[in-house]
Structure 1
Amino acid sequence: MTDYGHSITFGLSLDPGLDQLAETRSLARAAADAGLEYLAVQDHPYQPGHLDTWTLVSHLSAVTDRISFFTDVADVQLRPPTILAKAAASLSTLTEGRFVLGVGGGATADGIASMGGVRRNGPEMVSFTEEALQIMHRALAGGTVSFRSDQHKIDGYLAGPVPSAPVPIWLGSQGRRMLAVTGRHSDGWISPLNIYVPPDTVTARQQIIDEAAQEAGRDPRSVRRIYNVIGAIGPFRGGQGLIGEAKVWGDTLTEWAVELGFDTFVFWPLTQARAQLDVFAAEVVPAVRERVSAIRGRR
């Protein structure tokens, strides 16, 4: 049983496809109006039909209010960490704090190489990402940033602007080495989809994060835990993920919060995104908030 005590929050994943842009705009506004906390946008720039994630988030942030955005997750191998930090600080400043920087080591080595990035093996990718997180934390704090290693050479970058509130950095990770980096350096763990990281494998991953955080002198409770949940609410056949009526979703997400330690759930609808969002926001979200609050009160 693990519950890190963070407030329970909810988000919606938005499709970055150009052919989905009108629906994406509509969904973003609807999610904000429904009271969700986050809109998440994946980052696969080597997909020809995908809009650039940063450009899309900037556009959507201008047509919404209240709701925050995070990149789910930005590929650090295709963008220098100083540029990522600059972009995150700028967007946070322009949106009055409505941005979280979600990053990852990159989904595919082939995709990265196809765009001119360096093809790195597993250990190289992990060390590159770990160093990038350290650089981004320093750059987001402002001041002069210097960092020299085999993979990064930064000589006296004067960082800024500094947002009025710190920009959290959440790391997408799955393997042991990257999970340990999450514990040492990130403000949150972004778990891949529930079909890639099934619930019965989560506890072992949480323990890796916690142990790495403790070894680095950090409180594991300082690391937020975000679950990308694909599925459908209601009668639906033929899809993977969490499938069931709203009560099933409410019961399941409550269990994943108080037993597995997740505090943020990002919904990836398999079908009829707007109708699914309406049910999620009206029935699932309030049920989970109420049940988690009641369980925590009894504990």
Structure 2
Amino acid sequence: MPEQPDRKLWFGFAPGVGVGDVPGILSGVEHADRAGLDFFTVSDHPYYGSRLEAYAALGLLLGRTRDITGLVTVTNLPTRPVPLLARTLTTLSALSGGRVVLGLGAGGYWDDIVRLGIPRLDPAAAVRALDEAIGLVRALAGGGGPVTFEGEFSQVTAVDPAPVPAPLVWTGSVGPKSLAVTGRLADGWIPGNAADWHSARFRESRPLVDEAAASVGRDPATIATVFNLPARITDAPVTNPRDPSGRWTGGSVAQWIEELTSAVLDHGASGFVYFASGDPSGAVGLARWAEEIVPAVREAVAKG
């Protein structure tokens, strides 16, 4: 993919969502905000009692920060009525000054989802629901006249849109049909299973996003690719910074800088999420990420 030097780069932080990890989550997100990171993410698995509910956590964390954007990666769509999800997003946006992105998925843990009393959707229906949800969330934002919508999965009658701009939408699409939805409608894509820029998943999936975007007259380069990185930041260089499958597992600060700069300039990456839960160095790892790696990658990319 050719370099797009004018596109925004996103550098994020995932603090975890364990109920027992609350002090570290709060301090980590506050540190990320002070250090100038672009966003933080929380996962959405409401069927697990040991984890924080995603949107309650998102609201509190946005309230404790000043500049950083928050998103749920990715919102478990089957568990949330779309009109209410739209209201949640516009409310958080209004309260935070627009610091919200909608991360959205079709739902991937159906054996757990149905334990909440939610009817199971087959894969094709789940993708149709994703497509429909993106349009309805956007319709219920930005002001304007009342919205009436008779969809397959959601129906609203004469509902006033919130006078708040619709958020950016990043999907966690995996299959060909959901990747096509991303290409037609979304602003960004987060490859699943922590796939990175050298993975077969990325190489095989991103062209499907691009083809779908082009089919509706969109510039594929405007759709961000944001990679999850559950990897270590080590004290010294490592001999093998990738596992046997080829996935990035981390290394020294210098190795991270070189690798992420190449990911942007040579492979079209638009953003990265550093996972605290994937690095035993904890707060030290976050400091290295936010204060050493990210500024250096930004500088290197600016120089080309």
Measure how far apart 1:54 and its partner are. Answer: 0.5
Unaligned runs of 5+ in 2: none
1:190 aligned onto 2:199 = no
1:146 aligned onto 2:148 = yes
Distance, in Å, in 2 between the alignment partners of 1:10 and 1:193 is: 19
After alignment, is 150-159 or 95-104 more displaced?
A: 150-159
Contact 1:242 1:249 in 2 (8 A): no
1:255 aligned onto 2:257 = no
Shift in CA distance, 120/4, structure 1 to aligned 2, threshold 3 Å: farther
Residue identity in the other structure for 1:184:
R
Measure how far apart 1:150 and its partner are. Answer: 3.0
Distance, in Å, in 2 between the alignment partners of 1:159 and 1:220 is: 29
Residue identity in the other structure for 2:265:
V
* Counterpart for residue 213 of structure 1: 213
Measure how far apart 1:194 and its partner are. Answer: 2.6
3-state DSSP class of the match of 1:159?
coil
Contact 2:10 2:226 in 1 (8 A): no
After alignment, is 148-157 or 188-197 more displaced?
A: 188-197
Q: TM-score, normalised by structure 1?
A: 0.91
Distance, in Å, in 2 between the alignment partners of 1:126 and 1:3 is: 31
After alignment, is 234-243 or 58-67 more displaced?
A: 234-243
Distance, in Å, in 1 between the alignment partners of 2:92 and 2:197 is: 30
* Counterpart for residue 170 of structure 2: 170
* Counterpart for residue 135 of structure 2: 134
After alignment, is 233-242 or 116-125 more displaced?
A: 233-242
Contact 1:195 1:230 in 2 (8 A): no
3-state DSSP class of the match of 2:181?
helix
Residue identity in the other structure for 2:66:
D
Aligned length: 293
Contact 2:191 2:225 in 1 (8 A): yes
After alignment, is 127-136 or 2-11 more displaced?
A: 2-11
1:280 aligned onto 2:281 = no
The alignment's C-alpha RMSD in Å is 2.1
> CA offsets, 1:221-274, max 9 Å, x none?
332221111100115899964221111111111121122222111111322321
1:1-299 matched pairs, under 5 angstroms: 1-5=1-5, 6-142=7-143, 143-160=145-162, 162-163=163-164, 165-195=165-195, 199-234=199-234, 241-269=248-276, 270=278, 271-295=280-304
Shift in CA distance, 174/259, structure 1 to aligned 2, threshold 3 Å: farther
Contact 2:195 2:202 in 1 (8 A): no
Measure how far apart 1:178 and its partner are. Answer: 0.8
After alignment, is 166-175 or 46-55 more displaced?
A: 166-175
Unaligned runs of 5+ in 1: none
Shift in CA distance, 288/201, structure 1 to aligned 2, threshold 3 Å: same
Measure how far apart 1:89 and its partner are. Answer: 0.4
Distance, in Å, in 2 between the alignment partners of 1:254 and 1:219 is: 23
